[in-house]
Chain A
Amino acid sequence: MYEMLKLENLRVHYGAINAIKGIDLSVEKGKLVTLIGPNGAGKSSTLNAIMNIVTSKKGKIFNKGKDITKDRTDEIVKNGITLVPEGRKIFPNLTVRENLMIGAFGRKDVDDIKRDFDFVLELFPRIKERLKQTGGTLSGGEQQMLAIGRALMGNPEVLLMDEPSLGLAPLLVRMVFDVINKIKAEGRTILLVEQNASMALADADYAYVLETGKVVLQGNGKDLLMDAKVKRSYLGIN
């Protein structure tokens, strides 16, 4: 199995607060790996640390065996890792088309960009109808589709997703997970952070449970779904 992403003893702190207290994590090529856990467990911080948009971190991060701990964010993106940030963070002042095109900022392969653009529009027909509108006029669900589409425009090998289902209606949550599976079927590797533990675990090849900055449990997604502690804490089943 080929290891795409590996974290070694990752630690992140914001001032005096230790958000992550030493995490080891590994993501294999073509797999869907999920991070679950309560608020403040350090899930988003882990993704932000991989992208190097946190101010202070220790430990090591490897992409395909290469140490990327100190790389600049834009270099990390150019090397094939893209983040769909929490809260979507689409650009409200840019048109939907521009939002998608900026996702391909670091790329020069014009023909492939066109192909990915068509693929994204096929994946999200709703977005296609709104190419000329500004991003700020979209509904929450459409913004989430745009955020995922924008990340796909970077043609990432590894897609990091930070709570893509947050604040969406159940039907849209289902749709987001369908899209995630489609992206995986394309051969991309996904590291998914989710609050919706039951859906994330059902689809995941492997899962890590984070609590107060540490990995407390890990294993096959379906096994964790059956785990008594996970059931009690995250699935609300006794």
Chain B
Amino acid sequence: MSVNLDMNVLIQNVFNALSLGGLYALIAVGYTMVYGILRLINFAHGDIFMMGTYFAFYAITLLFLPWWLGFLCAICLTGLLGYSIEKIAYRPLRNAPRISSLITAIGMSFFLESFAVVVFGGIPKSFNVYPKIFSQVIIMGKTRIPILTFITIIVTALLFLFLWWLLYKTKTGLAMRAISVDIPTTSLMGANVNKVISVTFIVGSAFAAVAGILWAMKYPQVQPYMGFTPGLKAFIAAVIGGIGSIQGAIVGGFLLGFLEIMIVGFLPSLAGYRDAFAYVTLVVILMFRPTGIFKIYSEQKV
């Protein structure tokens, strides 16, 4: 087993890990926000991520929108998709046993995948819809970092800043935090619970779309099942962090990103086990901390 130790490789890997971890975290936030509020694991979240990339792809190739406008439209459309999924599929089951909404979420995931196969086609499409400058590489001494990596890190950071502002500086955010503890009591405060839940789905889905677009630029193709692995990894990240906790999802995402990149970077012979490490981490963390790294408040509900 060869161990690869080199300062330049380390720096390069730190950047890669930050960008991959950021993407996991962006998706994980969507899982954790929905779980925090509805105690529902939104299995369709990975497929919402996939739909976001297709929206971007078609907005640019079919509607000939400039790339930035195409991306923006895709993000908004994906938000709308998340809103509709909640309204059509989950809301009617709000008071049903939790297993019903869980099964519905799995069904929604299959529906979106099948929809994409039928409508968009099963053949992977090349995602060459963004300006070439993004794929250029910045060379600093011996370290080579793609511009896209920087962009991913910056965009992720900005979105988390936005999320913090939404949660802690707005009334909607206050209601979102309240709803995660107690839905009926939040409605007693005069908050329209349905509206707040809709906002949660819109934000989570829009974040997934951003992650999807960045993902599709990194591995430049789109296909109907592309949401499965990142979705699963992000879900693991959310569970590792403590599902329901937003800080947890972010920490979990970065933890997973670092672990994956560093293992592949320093122990290249184990690269084939890359995905296995995510699952092993999950098992180990759940063995010692069944609630994940961060605990959410629901356990203390009176």
Whether A53 pairs with B181 at a CB distance below 8 angstroms is no
Whether B174 pairs with A92 at a CB distance below 8 angstroms is no
When distances are taken between beta carbons in the complex, the residues of chain B under 8 Å from A103 are 189
Tell me the bound Cα distance from A82 to B190 in angstroms: 9
Whether A94 pairs with B190 at a CB distance below 8 angstroms is no
Whether B171 is near chain A, meaning CB under 8 Å from some CB there, is: yes
Whether B187 pairs with A53 at a CB distance below 8 angstroms is yes
Which chain B residue lies CB-closest to A82? B188
Whether B190 pairs with A77 at a CB distance below 8 angstroms is yes
Known contacts A93-B180, A101-B174, A102-B174; A51/B188 CB under 8 A: yes
Count of residues in A whose CB is under 8 Å from the partner chain = 29
When distances are taken between beta carbons in the complex, the residues of chain B under 8 Å from A82 are 188
Q: Quote the shortest CB–CB distance from A172 to chain B (angstroms).
A: 18
**Contact string, B173-190, partner A, CB cutoff 8 A, digits 1/0?**
011011011101111111
Known contacts A55-B95, A136-B300; A89/B185 CB under 8 A: yes
Q: Quote the shortest CB–CB distance from B33 to chain A (angstroms).
A: 14
Whether B192 pairs with A74 at a CB distance below 8 angstroms is yes
Tell me the bound Cα distance from A105 to B192 in angstroms: 10
Whether A94 pairs with B302 at a CB distance below 8 angstroms is no
When distances are taken between beta carbons in the complex, the residues of chain A under 8 Å from B188 are 51, 53, 73, 77, 82-83, 85, 89
Question: A interface, by DSSP: helix, strand, loop or mixed?
Answer: loop
Q: Which of B177, B188, B301, B302 has the most CB of A within 10 A?
A: B188
Whether B175 pairs with A92 at a CB distance below 8 angstroms is no
Whether A60 is near chain B, meaning CB under 8 Å from some CB there, is: no
Tell me the bound Cα distance from A55 to B190 in angstroms: 18
Q: Quote the shortest CB–CB distance from A114 to chain B (angstroms).
A: 15
Q: Quote the shortest CB–CB distance from B164 to chain A (angstroms).
A: 15
Known contacts A51-B188, A82-B188, A93-B180; A105/B193 CB under 8 A: no
Whether A87 pairs with B174 at a CB distance below 8 angstroms is no
Task: Choose from A55, A93, A154 the contact partner of B177 (Cβ within 8 Å).
Answer: A93
Whether A105 pairs with B189 at a CB distance below 8 angstroms is yes
Whether A150 is near chain B, meaning CB under 8 Å from some CB there, is: yes
Known contacts A53-B184, A92-B181, A94-B178; A150/B297 CB under 8 A: no
Which chain A residue lies CB-closest to B182? A89
Whether A106 pairs with B191 at a CB distance below 8 angstroms is yes
Task: Choose from B95, B178, B193 the contact partner of A102 (Cβ within 8 Å).
Answer: B178
When distances are taken between beta carbons in the complex, the residues of chain B under 8 Å from A89 are 182, 185, 188, 302
Tell me the bound Cα distance from A77 to B190 in angstroms: 5
Task: Choose from B174, B184, B193, B301 the contact partner of A94 (Cβ within 8 Å).
Answer: B174
Q: Which 5 A-B pairs have the closest CB atoms?
A: A106-B190, A77-B190, A73-B187, A93-B297, A89-B185
Residues of A within 8 A of B (CB): 51, 53, 55, 72-74, 77-78, 82-83, 85, 87-89, 91-94, 98, 101-107, 136, 150, 154
19 inter-chain pairs at a CB distance below 8 angstroms, sorted by A residue, are: A53-B184, A72-B187, A73-B188, A74-B189, A77-B190, A78-B190, A83-B188, A85-B185, A85-B188, A89-B185, A91-B177, A92-B297, A94-B177, A101-B174, A102-B178, A102-B186, A106-B190, A136-B300, A154-B190
